[in-house]
Amino acid sequence: MIGHEEPPNDRIVGSNLAMDSEADGTPKGSSIARVPAVEDPSTNGAVGRSTDGRFAAGNRGGPGNPHARQVAALRTALLGAVTPDDVECVTAKLVELAKAGNVQAIREVFDRTVGRPTEADLLERIDQLERTALGMSAGGRR
């Protein structure tokens, strides 16, 4: 409005501006309301967040995965108990079951060796794009 100075840290929200104004500075008969300005992000204490909202140095973060240490110990124990010979025997049995017609074994063998259909298709597409790009960079066009 002409000749009206806004109070600091406030902004006007709404519509239907009128030339006459109320005592608080809002236009008469309008749907405009005063809303306090947006405040800076909370720092959540001494080592919370910085003024730009990022985690500050020294912030401990969340608790993480409470079971991660236990799972790591179990994996270490499993890897210690399984030898390369064990893996070879299990793989031979899986291939034997696949050859006998076990659909789940066939799927597992193919998934582990050839890859899932979408993955194999994606890898094939990437190879084709790379060949095309090499051909174009060598000066040839397709």
Query: Which band of pLDDT confidence, cut at 50, 70 and 90, is reported for residue 44?
Result: low
Instruction: Kindly report the backbone phi and psi dihedral angles of residue 33, in degrees, each rounded to the nearest multiple of 5, phi listed first.
Output: -125, 150
What pTM was estimated for this model as a whole?
A: 0.41
- Whether the pLDDT of residue 65 is over 80: the answer is yes
Cβ atoms of 32 and 17 closer than 8 Å: yes
Q: Which of 7, 67, 57, 11 is nearest to 37 (CA)?
A: 11
Q: How far separated are the first and last CA of the chain, in Å rounded? A: 64
Task: Answer whether residue 123 shows pLDDT above 80.
Answer: yes
Give the pLDDT score at 53: 78
The three-state (H, E, C) secondary structure of the chain, written as one string: CCCCCCCCCEEEECCCCCCCECCCCCECCCCCEEEECCCCCCCCCCCCECCCCCECCCCCCCCCCCCHHHHHHHHHHHHHHCCHHHHHHHHHHHHHHHHCCCHHHHHHHHHHHCCCHHHHHHHHHHHHHHHHHHHHHCCCCC
Q: Do the beta carbons of residue 87 and residue 98 sit within 8 Å? A: no
Section 41-59 average pLDDT: 70
Task: Using the predicted structure, report yes or no on whether residue 15 has a pLDDT greater than 60.
Answer: no
Confidence of residue 33 (pLDDT cuts 50, 70, 90): low
Average pLDDT, the chain: 77
pLDDT beyond 50 at 124: yes
The tokens describing 2, both together, are 């002409």
Read off the pLDDT band of 121 (50, 70, 90): confident
